Amino acid sequence: MPVNATEPGEGERDDADSSGSNSEPSLPINELFYSLQGEGTLAGTPSVFVRTSGCNLRCWFCDSYHTSWEPTHAGMTVDEIVAEVESYDANHVVLTGGEPLVHEESVTLLDRLSELGYHTTVETNGTIFRDAAIDLASVSPKLASSTPTPENDPKGDGEWEERHEERRIDVETLGSLVDAYDVQMKFVVTDEGDLEEIEKLVAEVRSTATKSLSDTDVLLMPEGATREQLDESRERVAELAMEYGYRYTPRLHVDLWNDAPGT
């Protein structure tokens, strides 16, 4: 069930002190709900989703608008989050955003969940590294096609174009994530032209990381937050995955529930 946002967040920060006015560690939570993992190698797995608010990037096609462009949230302590997670019949927790790793207290939450025996997936854009109890780092580097321009910026002013472009890729951080965790590198594909950039970035990460990154660790995902949008792109992205030897990932939650919140 979603935790509906009631107050503005500070999503433009690269980092965030989420402790608030009390002494208990807390996080800005946009949604907390039970559903199926819709993307990646664990698609179809019953999961509790903890969606933090705030992001250091601004992808024009962001499907979590109220964690980035207009960040909203309800503050929850780590104890409150864990209690809510425990109320659901699932042993898999997805920490997502926004960009959850902008918040130092995400480490506290992940460590607590690990101590309780939960498998954790962290959905991250790959620009921030944290030493935490992460079972699967689902890293989604943002391609040039994600940059908000005056033509596609949801706010129409292009204010974030330069900032987003400067921040969106950090090869050293991507290499560190590959070395530290089990990783799936998931790319949102808007058209065939993205593959040249994907190939180049995968090669750079492989030359930076000590651990190997196999082709089956690289996932191509169609862009689209509605069934109608996915209908226009999924077949071509699947063909590209076969052509390049990468893995295709669906957006199962969109196929099942379209763009309904809390799914």
pLDDT of residue 225: 86
User: Does pLDDT of 238 surpass 70?
Assistant: yes
The pLDDT value given to residue 156: 86
Q: How far apart are CA 189 and CA 146, in angstroms?
A: 10
Asked, for residue 28, whether it belongs to a domain, the answer is: yes
Evaluate whether residue 140 is within a structural domain.
yes
What is the spatial distance between Cα 136 and Cα 122, in angstroms, rounded to a whole number? Answer: 6
| Structural domain contains residue 80 | yes
pLDDT one-digit tens code per residue, 185-230 = 999 998 999 999 999 999 999 999 999 999 999 999 998 889 999 9
Is 236 among the domain residues?
A: no
Instruction: Tell me whether residue 196 is in a domain.
Output: yes
22 pLDDT band, cuts 50/70/90, is low
Domain annotation covers residue 174: yes
State how far the Cα of 227 lies from the Cα of 147, in Å rounded to an integer. 23
Identify whether the C-beta of residue 263 lies closer than 8 Å to the C-beta of residue 226. no
For residue 105, what are the CA distances in angstroms to 45, 66, 119, 244?
A: 25, 20, 18, 38
Show the domain range for 168: 7-211
What total of structural domains would you count in the chain? Answer: 1
Whether 188 is in a domain gets the answer: yes
* Measured CA angle at 208 (ends 200, 143), to 5 deg: 35
The answer to whether residues 126 and 174 touch, using CB atoms and an 8 Å cutoff, is yes
Contact 76, 103 (CB under 8 A): no
Mean pLDDT across 103-131: 98
CA angle 32, 9, 176 (to 5 degrees): 75
Q: What radius of gyration, in Å, describes the C-alpha atoms of the chain?
A: 17
Structure tokens at 163: 């900032």
Q: What is the mean pLDDT of residues 173-196?
A: 96
Q: Which residue has the tokens 């927790």?
A: 93
Look up the CATH number of the domain holding residue 107.
3.20.20.70
What pTM was computed for the model? 0.90
Rounded CA gap, 27 and 115, in Å? Answer: 19
pLDDT per residue as tens digits for the range 128-160: 999 999 999 999 999 999 999 999 999 988 899
In a domain, 129, yes or no: yes
147/7: higher pLDDT? 147
